[in-house]
Structure 1
Amino acid sequence: MTDQESHLENVSKSAAAIRAACGGGPVPRVAIVLGSGLGGLADKVEAATVVPYRDLPGFPVPTVAGHAGTLLVGRLGGSPVLVLNGRKHFYETNDPYPLRTMIRGVRAAGVEVLFLSNAAGSLRPHIGVSELMLITDHVNFLGLNPLTGPNDDAFGPRFFSMTGAWDPALSERLRAVARAEAITLHEGVYVAFRGPSFETPAEIRMAQGWGGDAVGMSSVPECLIARHCGMRVVGVSCITNMGAGLSDENLTHAHTIENASRGAAAFERLVTAAVPVLADGSG
């Protein structure tokens, strides 16, 4: 069996397992990927069925603190939701297939909207630590694209547009929710570096020059895979630090987790209120 054939089988089996976790009910329209330090939202999911990633064929198994590696199906804000609690970053692996399986598996199960979240460093003084930023666009500086290699025609075309990849209509709904909830929601361009080292001050200046507003090590691969297979994408960064050279902070992963937890309450409130709005199939 080729890698592609094995991948197709894993997607099919994982999609079946996700549908089974829904207990015969409809598959939620919205799936949320929780970033570093934001896993507390999983505890807010009501009547949750929890499935470890290791029980989903071909799914990635995270190795970094703050990423539980569990899929939950339940209700949030009164609406059905699927939560992916944790991700495997490309600084942990060179293999794109597990991430493809995760995103395509939820798509094949019936999910239509992917809500991406991450911990990120701010590139702008007005976007403060523990605040939230709506992702309006991205710059891929990972040095890779998870769709490189033979195209999986069963999921999408070889070439596809990334204009409006961070869905403008869904983003406007998220802005409206933030206003209604009195939550500060900045917005801007997310620049993805591969990591695992934090960026140098020179790299931060370069990212600023590109028009970036926040920097991190995730979310862009998921966005690419999701857009390739026809999902709508919306996303939020939780700012955990200023970029290197923009403050006297000592950047560590523990520091990232700590500051993400400080912004988690606003993040959880925003997402809980947003799920019913994002699940609305109109527009």
Structure 2
Amino acid sequence: MWEKVAETVSFINEKTNFQPEYGVILGSGLGDFADDINIEYSILYSDIPNFPVSTVQGHKGALLFGTIGNKKIMAMQGRFHYYEGYDMKQVTFPIRVMKQLGIEKLIVSNASGGVNSSFKVGDIMIINDHVNMMPEHPLRGYNDERFGPRFVNMSNPYSKIMITRVKEIAKNLQIEVQEGIYLALQGPTFETLAEYKMVKNIGADCVGMSTVPEVIVAKHMNMECLGLSIITDMGDEKNIVEVNHEEVLEAAKKAEPHVRKLIKNFILQF
């Protein structure tokens, strides 16, 4: 793994000569955040050594390098998912690369199904914690101490400082935000009504198919993380029959301008 990461980092450095400060992962329906970046370099995943290729509709599949104000950004247009057939080391490989490129702050976004009855479709939820119910752990197997410790403290997976700051920014911009716990399941099926009820009973506020493996690996390497989730559907008796991927993308698209504004201003001010 260490050698593969080094090879990929060397390739990117040769192509860009760019040292990013922030890593941003743009989830379903959020690819247009690229319009907020003054892009200097763009590399297709398919051209990057050791990189998987995203197969999901709404994920464009490119690494972007550029600036927002005077802050240097590396953004992933599309992420990799366990349900696509990749193992967790492949899913989280880009996070390893980010760290070795010098990134210390990671911003992740996703679309999720809400189970908190006070939520509604289109809400933006700041992730303050998560429950990992993926069937494979990204740190399973041999641990290379050059990346991080064998046992990782996960008491603060999402930076409290970053959460406080993004809440202040949301208030100043008059953008309504929720806050809660994200639960990760394998997918690719949307949850049954019984599974949505289980998610709620466990204590989570929403459920999705990504993000948690990436944050675990980021914390393994002592990176700070901020997570934002768009509630694209509600897991209850009334709404469950309408859930499909097109609906999810449409709901994400409507909320995207607010998420983009939050992320842009957070990067400018943090």
After TM superposition, the score normalised by the length of structure 1 is: 0.91
Partner of 1:209, secondary structure, is: helix
- Matched residues in 2 for 1:179 and 1:48: separation? 32
Which residue of 212, 232, 235 maps to 2:227?
235
Partner of 1:131: 123
Contact map agreement 1:69 1:85 (CA 8 A) in 2: yes
Deviations 1:207-240 (A, max 9, x none): 1111111110000000011111111111000111
- Matched residues in 2 for 1:128 and 1:67: separation? 24
Partner of 1:269: 261
Write out aligned runs for 1:7-156 (5 A): 7-23=1-17, 25=18, 27-156=19-148
- Matched residues in 1 for 2:28 and 2:248: separation? 8
- Matched residues in 1 for 2:61 and 2:153: separation? 30
Partner of 1:252: 244
- Matched residues in 2 for 1:131 and 1:78: separation? 30
Equivalenced residue count is 270
Deviations 1:144-168 (A, max 9, x none): 2111111122201111110011111
Shift of 1:18: 3.3
Alignment identity in percent? 36
Matched, 1:215 2:195: no
Structure 1 alignment gaps of length 5 or more:
1-6, 279-283
Contact map agreement 1:58 1:97 (CA 8 A) in 2: no
After TM superposition, the score normalised by the length of structure 2 is: 0.95
Q: Which amino acid aligns with 2:121?
A: V
Q: Which amino acid aligns with 2:49?
A: P
Shift of 1:28: 2.1
Quickly say closer, same or farther: Cα 1:209–1:69, change in 2 above 3 A: same
- Matched residues in 2 for 1:91 and 1:37: separation? 18
Q: Which amino acid aligns with 1:154?
A: R
Partner of 1:236, secondary structure, is: strand
Contact map agreement 1:77 1:272 (CA 8 A) in 2: no
Hey, which bits of structure 1, 4+ residues long, moved more than 4 A?
none
Shift of 1:79: 2.3
- Matched residues in 2 for 1:235 and 1:20: separation? 30
Deviations 1:176-209 (A, max 9, x none): 1111111111100001111001111111111111
Write out aligned runs for 1:134-213 (5 A): 134-213=126-205
Partner of 2:258, secondary structure, is: helix
- Matched residues in 2 for 1:56 and 1:97: separation? 16
Contact map agreement 2:21 2:71 (CA 8 A) in 1: no
Aligned-residue Cα RMSD (Å) equals: 1.5
Shift of 1:101: 2.2
Deviations 1:63-95 (A, max 9, x none): 110111111011124522110111111111242
